[in-house]
Amino acid sequence: EAAAEAAGTLDEETTAGRVSAESQHAEERDEECDENDEDDDIILPGIRHDPLRWVAETAGYGDSERWWEHLVEQRQDSNELFQAIQELMSALRAEADAQSPSNELEQQREAAMRSQLRAACKEGYERIAVICGAWHVPALAKLPPAREDTARLKGLPKRKLAATWVPWTYGRLTYASGYGAGIEAPGFYQHLWESAGEPAIRWLARVAQLLREHDLPASTASVIEAARLADTLAALRNRPRPAQEELNEAILAVLCHGDATPLRLIEDQLLIGERLGDVPESTPMLPLQQDLQRQQKRLRLPPEASQRVLELDLRKPNDLERSQLLHRLNLLNISWGRIEQASGKGTFKENWRLQWQPELAVAVIEANLWGSTIPAAAAARARDRARNSEQLSQLTALVEQTLLAELPEAIGEVMERLQNAAALTSDIPHLMDSLPPLARILRYGNVRQTDAGLVGHVVDGLITRIAIGLPAACHSLDDEAAEAMFAKVRTMQNAISVLQDPEQIETWQGALAKLVDQTGLHGLLAGHACRLLFEQSILPPPETARRMGLALSLAGEPAHAAAWLEGFLHGSGQLLLHHEALWEILDHWVSGLSGDAFTPLLPLLRRTFAHFPAPERRQIGARVKQGGATRMPATTEADVDATRADRVLPILAKVLGLAEGALDVYTSTHPDGEIGGQLGLKDA
């Protein structure tokens, strides 16, 4: 009667059927029991771990959700339903007690429930609605003497707690972990409750409407055919009406034409649904909500539905605390603000794009599980993420978030987890991904008044290990892997530039020097390493020109040369405009390519030059239009071997038709003339 009264007092937004559906899952679950549902020789879990799955498997169903749908949700007459569930749970508990006795915690919880029931009875209530997990119904149907429960609860520590109602969503009803309900299709169950007459045809009509809203074909004739197919499938399976399984098969065959992609849309928006509950305004707020409102008021940061940009000056205490609050909320997945790139080169500015959305109220409620204040909850969440993060890049990003959020109570554990992960990681790309966040912390930590020294020795170790392992990590890479490593090398260079530490810069330059001399290196990486060393004055211009000439030699592979050029010129073409020798080498290489070799390389060359700014491309184009001829430096007198030249003069005089000895006279009177003058070409 208590459960029936609970169903009668529920709002329409919930439904009596789904109250029972939520109670189908016992609070204590064994996650290992969810595997191998389809095996014929499946080993049933213990009854206490998942009682309804035990019943469903015994009855021949693949899972408890299908069993519950057929016997409960689609039931036409629900008058005896709650009594039947009570009898079922009584039988299951008796069987479970025969397998193993209940644990002390479960008995204490049920004793506390009975104490609350006795208190309600003493207040004079005659009709009392009890909403609880179905597993506990037999323990609450009859109240034993109060002294037994009092003795069981004696000695337990007491704590002051605050209780309130929270709005929930259908999407969160699908969560099965922890204390979740684990309902697969709450939206479909609501439809069954509201469409007692013809739920199948009405459901198909809703599906067709959804498909049309997304510009997918769904005619009325197709809806009728899908309904007929669902009815036929139900008849073949000896079921009184189509269930979710038959409807999905009919939708897939008729409305989706065998394409399973639209089914995901139907699952998200109809089977599960996007419904959000609400609570009265008089409902007490959760502690975390109260703390958030206090901080919003203190920092003069009211939540607004409209989107706005907030510029913070981190040198001001109030703006610094605002930044810390927003970072803490992001740690808790309360995405009130999104950080953006600040204008200017200063490190004390921070831009946030703020917009408060209704869904964030639910996120605040969920975050209340981590603590009753924003700092405590964010610290607990950071520690939990650190314990469950395996990738080094995730941990370094978490360290950055934790420091920016100013959570000293969490940073110790997070840093310890980072150090352990860094020591065990031998993957050079992962180490390279982890460096940029730590570099930003070291560079800008003093602006935020954070203890950046915590990560200094970690950064030193990472750079050393990366420098040692980089040549091996770059060896024998294909085009795709080289592109990925190319991006990581650029990111590393930016991080090293941010740090501005001479020893770290020298270590990184040593690694690049090994790359440019490494055989078997992809041209993209070799060219970019050469460019970085040239920009940092490690390679002088003549040496750079020599290496470029070797890379662009016509005797080499054209594809390798094009990749080398792309890596060398990435980001800027000013090198070509200001270094004559590099321009001549490139011009000679392009001019010497055959048509068969040039055509496949053209897209790569176009991509290389497309990255240049428009003014640079115009300057390069103007330079090309001037022609390939370049002014050669004048040959000095020391470059001419006079003895060998004298041997040529008599023969040259005959060729030009000059008198014998004429050239000897001219060269003696014009010792400083140009080569053409030395040869007598002016007089001729």
Residues 6+ apart with CB under 8 A from 122: none
CA 231 to CA 225: how far, in whole Å? 10
CA 484 to CA 496: how far, in whole Å? 19
The string of pLDDT tens digits covering residues 483-528 is 999 999 999 999 999 888 899 999 999 999 999 889 889 999 999 9
The arrangement of strands across the sheet holding 349-354 comes to 308-313, 349-354, 337-340
Q: Where are the beta strands (DSSP E) in 66-135?
A: none
The string of pLDDT tens digits covering residues 308-348 is 899 999 889 999 999 999 999 999 999 999 998 655 445 67
Task: Give the pTM.
Answer: 0.54
- Phi, psi dihedrals of residue 313, rounded to the nearest 5°: -105, 105
CA 574 to CA 579: how far, in whole Å? 8
359, 436, 438, 500, 620 from 494: Cα distances, Å: 37, 8, 12, 10, 27
The string of pLDDT tens digits covering residues 529-542 is 998 998 888 988 88
| Exposure b/e, 121-159, CB count within 10 A at least 16 = b | eeeeeeeebbeebbbbbbbbeeeeeeeebeebeeeeeee
Residue 538 in tokens: 């490690």
Q: Among positive and negative, which fits the CA dihedral 436, 438, 443, 444?
A: positive
In the chain, % helix, strand, coil (3-state, to 5) comes to: 65, 5, 35
Structural domain boundaries in the chain: 2-161, 186-272, 287-380, 637-678
CA 409 to CA 131: how far, in whole Å? 39
CA 347 to CA 340: how far, in whole Å? 13
The string of pLDDT tens digits covering residues 273-317 is 878 777 787 888 888 989 999 999 999 999 887 888 999 998 899
382 pLDDT exceeds 80?
yes
Residue 499 in tokens: 């740090």
Report residue 257's pLDDT band, with 50, 70 and 90 as the boundaries: very high
The string of pLDDT tens digits covering residues 47-77 is 888 888 888 888 888 888 888 888 888 877 7
Q: Count other Cβ atoms within 10 Å, centred on residue 402.
A: 30
Q: Count other Cβ atoms within 10 Å, centred on residue 659.
A: 8
CA 238 to CA 228: how far, in whole Å? 15
The string of pLDDT tens digits covering residues 192-231 is 888 877 899 999 999 999 999 999 999 999 999 999 999 9
Residue with tokens 């409209």: 306
